[in-house]
Amino acid sequence: MFCASRSSATARAAAMKDFVRGFAAIFLPNARASAMMSSTGASFHQGGCRHLPYRRRMPPIGQESAIRCNPHARPAIRRALRASTHNGKLMSKRFSERILNFLRQPEYVPVRAARLAKDMGIAEAEYGDFHDAVDALRRVGRVVLGTGNAVMLPHPPNQIVGTFRGNPRGFGFVVPDSATTHGDLYIGKGDTLDAVTGDRVLCQVISRGRREGKEAFGGRILKVIERGDSKFVGQLRNESGLWFVQPDGNTLHFPIFVGDIGAKGAREGDQVVVEIVRYPGEGRQAKGVIVERLGGRGQPGVDLNSIIRQYNLPESFPDEVLADARAVAKEFDPDREVSEREDISDRLTITIDPDDAKDFDDAITLERLDGSAGSARRGAHADPSRHGAAHARRAADSSSRKQRAAGEGAVWELGVHIADVSHFVREGRPMDDEARERGTSVYFPGHVIPMLPEVLSNGICSLQEAESRLCKSAFIRYDPYGRVLSARFANTVIKSDKRLTYRQASGILDGHTSGIPKPIVEMVLEMDRLAKAIQKRRIDDGMIVLDLPAVDLILDDDGRVIDAQPEDKSFSHTIIEMFMVEANEAVARLMDRLGVPCIRRIHPDPDEDSLEAMARFMRAAGFPVPKKITPRDLQALLEPLKGRPEGYAVNLAVLRSMQLAEYSPKKIGHFALASRHYTHFTSPIRRYADLMVHRLLQGYFDGPFGGRNKAGLEDVPDEDELIEMGRRLSYVSRRAESAEQELRTVKVLQLLTEHVGDEFEGVVTGVTNFGLFVQHPKYLIDGLLRIEDLGDDWWEPDVKAGRVVGERTRQTFTMGTMLRVQIVEVDVSARQMNLALVQGGQPVRRRGGPMGEPYGRRRERAEGGRGHGGKKGHRKGPPPRPGGKGGRHKGKRGRR
């Protein structure tokens, strides 16, 4: 079948063609076999025929030993597999040494295989053979794939690659790229090399003996593989004629010395952006150049711009993106779309959002199906004949016959209608490229960085009152106990009848209905009944409901905080949250039933160490905890503590035991929601993950997955693509949350600089080896009360149990303890507030050096340290709940 004179690429193509012909003849009907054979010119790769439609892809080569050895298999298949494997070995050998030599170069930075091929100068015609060689090296363990499928040499078992997170006190942590048995590694002060926060490093794992019956590990950085950020934001200072920038926050713990400051017109005390040109090392200081002057500290807008630069957030949209958005908006004509969609514009439809919201991406309809009062219909049922033949062919019902039969006894049909962003933002267009890069909208106090241009986000994609809008809709039927009986999905045209605020909806629930039309009042009351049934069902299933305080910041015209008030936690928020969770879950169930790879929103179970730490705290606080903790156990602990002083500490301990939610194609469910199937579908205006799911749903409406449909849908992404995209979207989501929280922290600290000397009664929210964190009751920001300022005793911290005990007096401070403290120092640059304990009406005098320097007895252990905003820098768990957008600052991230 193969001869020596034949080129490898030609030989493999012939082998693959034989394989496809044989495979099609055996397994496919004649018509499909003929269609498949007409496409044998498609590009192939080692993982199989990637461009065949979904569910029609061939088994991967190299994994078909069962067929190869099967005497009943067609000879063409056996020959193709044998020859392809033999030929692959010959060609792999050609590239193997070149690849390994390239990876051994000291300057090599791990990249994906496609980029590696370009860096190595591989000809495009040889890409297939090159990828075969990489796969072959992987199979024998000579190369491995790291984060983002980057190709790298394997490291010894005692070495790992990860991201460094530094602490201002000189130590830090390395977060491994992939799962390990030891988790994050503590790096001592003398073992950090010249790594700074955000750098990818090669780290040696070191055993540090046994603690509490388990082996403890630390690490030593051997090499900085790749630098993270090279630009930092900070204040320009001068000491003894030397100019330097002290970066804001806890990212860097060293100053960056700069030379000429006149080029950018910077003056002492200004906020500037500095780029490092020489990192610190043995006997040398960091050196940099000022690349931008942001303005004087405290000037309006400087704090916002500082955070935007610090987190490398996008700002204005490129001209081609704005032009694309304007063109799409100009072409939009809802009347043209009615024939292709289910027209439900006659149904009573409402939106419920914050007072200052501008982008309305979800609307609700609700109908009673049992003839009871409160049916939320404006008129007669929509006539299916009006929906057009095209819609009749495409309308999708996810329920089976059995589910439909069960659905006949339904009490409610909930309609969750989400702006059809995928109709306007097409793959490959400038808007899509920009949205993919941004990944999410960012909601700051008083300012929003949108994912999409405003002509879409606040215009044609916003479900405004009395405007016809295109949606993707989920229609879910429920029994009287809030259990799902069936679900269907459709492209729809809706028209919102009333834009309600949460405040107005809460008023209706409290009986304040003046000026609200009766059908809307009845609908809101019906929504309340259904949401309570859903919530009860979900809590019974193990959903965790945390009861933690949150505040809205009140800003003046210059963006400065002038006040704060408790966040509205009325049940109207829960109604919308429950409905959004149900819609997300229904779409995820559909995708899982179809077996379609998609981006999911996953929340892994808490890891063993985190659960053990939480259980230890609970037991120390006197709460019985079972050995194996389930979500139901956690909710059972939380429920009776609502409103009690100790409840805050328990809620906080549960929060910190949890891992971060993330985007991934893995099917592991959502721990906090007690959901086996979960994705994000309900916010495509502000989350790219939701837009990806909408495109998959459109593919379902249009026909079989794979190929290209009329909406320009690309082939269904494969697992590797989804893994990489999930990592990217998880990163931008966490970046947005961190940026939002840090700006809130900065604004509150700016206000509290005017309140040094004030006293307040606060709750202990954290215990470390060097002190307690006490939360301000009004602004919910943590201040540090150092151990040596607790009084005249020898204090022993027990971080895992969340307490500090005096050796002589046996006085104990635990998480949840209420303390009266005084604000003694505020450092906005360091994102830090220092406190003193008030005893007998007088603050306990501090000892030691200036703020930020160590005092007295210290231990540098893995339990120490917090990042900005009071978060533990190294521990897993969601960040403090961020707010949202402008004025009264409360955002849209609460909808899960």
Q: Tell me: the pLDDT tens digits for 615-639?
A: 888 887 778 888 777 778 888 888 8
What is the average pLDDT across 116-127? 87
Q: Count helices and strands (H / E) in the chain.
A: 21, 35
Amino acid letter for position 124: E
What is the average pLDDT across 254-275? 89
DSSP string computed for 357-380: -----EEEEEEESSS-S----SSS
CATH second-level architecture of 155-226?
Beta Barrel (2.40)
Look at residue 488 and give its three-state secondary structure: strand
- If one compares 509 and 252, the residue with the highest pLDDT of the two is 509
Where along the chain do its domains lie? 8-151, 155-226, 231-297, 605-658
pLDDT at 505: 97
CB-CB contact of 11 with 84 (8 Å):
no
Query: Is 70 exceeded by the pLDDT of residue 411?
Result: yes
What is the average pLDDT across 126-132? 86
**Burial zone of 315 (CB within 10 Å; 0-12 exposed, 13-18 middle, 19+ buried):** exposed
Query: What are the backbone dihedrals phi and psi of residue 621, each rounded to the nearest 5 degrees, phi first?
Result: -85, 0
Query: Is 70 exceeded by the pLDDT of residue 870?
Result: no
Segment among 36-50, 142-156, 247-261 with least mean pLDDT: 36-50
What is the average pLDDT across 222-235? 90
CA nearest neighbour of 862 among 161, 157, 167, 223: 167
Amino acid letter for position 741: Q
pLDDT at 71: 41
CB-CB contact of 309 with 292 (8 Å):
yes
Segment among 420-434, 648-662, 678-692 with least mean pLDDT: 648-662
pLDDT at 211: 63
pLDDT at 522: 97
To the question of domain 231-297 being in CATH 1.20.1370.20, the answer is no
Topology match between the domains 155-226 and 231-297: yes
Query: Is 90 exceeded by the pLDDT of residue 552?
Result: yes
CA nearest neighbour of 857 among 792, 783, 796, 802: 796
CA nearest neighbour of 249 among 732, 736, 742: 742
Over pLDDT 90: what percentage of the chain? Answer: 47
Q: Model confidence over 773-811: pLDDT tens digits? A: 999 999 999 999 999 999 888 999 988 888 999 999 999
Residues paired with 774 in a beta bridge:
764, 783
Query: Is 50 exceeded by the pLDDT of residue 744?
Result: yes
Pair of tokens at residue 17: 């063609």
Query: Is 80 exceeded by the pLDDT of residue 46?
Result: no
Buried-state track 520-539, b at ≥16 Cβ within 10 A, e below 16: bebbbebbbbbbebbbebbb
- Mean pLDDT estimate for the chain: 79
Pair of tokens at residue 312: 């490398």
Query: Is 50 exceeded by the pLDDT of residue 124?
Result: yes
Query: Is 50 exceeded by the pLDDT of residue 297?
Result: yes
Residue ranges in 253-343 assigned as alpha helix (H): 302-310, 319-331, 334-337
pLDDT at 529: 97
pLDDT at 320: 97
Query: Is 90 exceeded by the pLDDT of residue 663?
Result: yes
State the SS3 of 642-657.
CCCHHHHHHHHHHHHH
Whether pTM exceeds 0.85 = no
CB-CB contact of 739 with 732 (8 Å):
no
Q: Model confidence over 426-482: pLDDT tens digits? A: 999 999 999 999 999 999 999 999 999 999 999 999 999 999 999 999 999 999 999
- If one compares 146 and 661, the residue with the highest pLDDT of the two is 661
pLDDT at 896: 54
CB-CB contact of 526 with 374 (8 Å):
yes
Residue 210 confidence class, pLDDT cut points 50, 70, 90: low
What is the average pLDDT across 394-422? 69
What is the average pLDDT across 863-885? 32
- If one compares 186 and 644, the residue with the highest pLDDT of the two is 186
706 Rama class: left (phi>0) / alpha (psi -120 to 50) / beta: left
Residue 48 confidence class, pLDDT cut points 50, 70, 90: very low
CB-CB contact of 273 with 288 (8 Å):
no
Q: How many CB atoms lie within 10 A of CB 461?
A: 28
pLDDT at 720: 78
Tokens 């690659």 sit at which residue? 161
